[in-house]
Amino acid sequence: MATKERISLNVNNKSYDLEVDPNMPLLYALRNELDITGPKFGCGLAQCGACAVIVDGRVMRSCMTSVRSTQGRQIRTIEGLGTPENPHPVQKAFIEEAVPQCGYCISGWLMTSVALLEENPRRSDAEIRQSLSSLKCRCGTHMSILRAVNRAAKAMA
């Protein structure tokens, strides 16, 4: 393990200073150092998306992104999307469609969908399916997810 270094992170518009192994994946910094536990550990291999966060507008897998590489960049997690009083349109659609079952994967689907639709909400169902195809959901909520993302796309267009 590398020795710890001082790292500054900006997460959900708040600045944090940490002392961590700079090679440590961002996921562990968020979850264990900052208590931002929305992103989940699913595989540690960037194969499932449960850890997805948005960094400078692009969705990234925080389980394989070193904390050093995110220094000084704008990191967004599910906690920074919206609130029950003022939900992000994608969150609103996920609630209307009652998407999550166990919900462990849902932060990843939300963050990936947010990045996709904020870039361009005019997406066909086929594009949405393709863009989300690297995410896993073991409870099989795919139908609800697709309904919700299509609904959010319409709301945001």
Q: Give contact residues for other proteins (rule: CB under 8 A).
A: 1, 20-21, 24, 28, 31-32, 35, 37-38, 40-45, 47-48, 50, 77-79, 81-84, 87, 91-92, 94-96, 98-107, 110, 128-130, 132-146
Nearest approach, Cβ of residue 80 and other proteins (Å): 9
Please tell me the distance from the alpha carbon of residue 154 to that of residue 157, in angstroms, as a whole number.
Answer: 5
Residues 6+ apart with CB under 8 A from 67: 7, 9, 18, 20, 21, 22, 23, 24, 25, 26, 28, 29
Closer CB to other proteins, residue 44 or residue 121? 44
Nearest approach, Cβ of residue 109 and other proteins (Å): 9
- Strand 74-76 versus strand 52-55 pairing type: antiparallel
Closer CB to other proteins, residue 15 or residue 133? 133
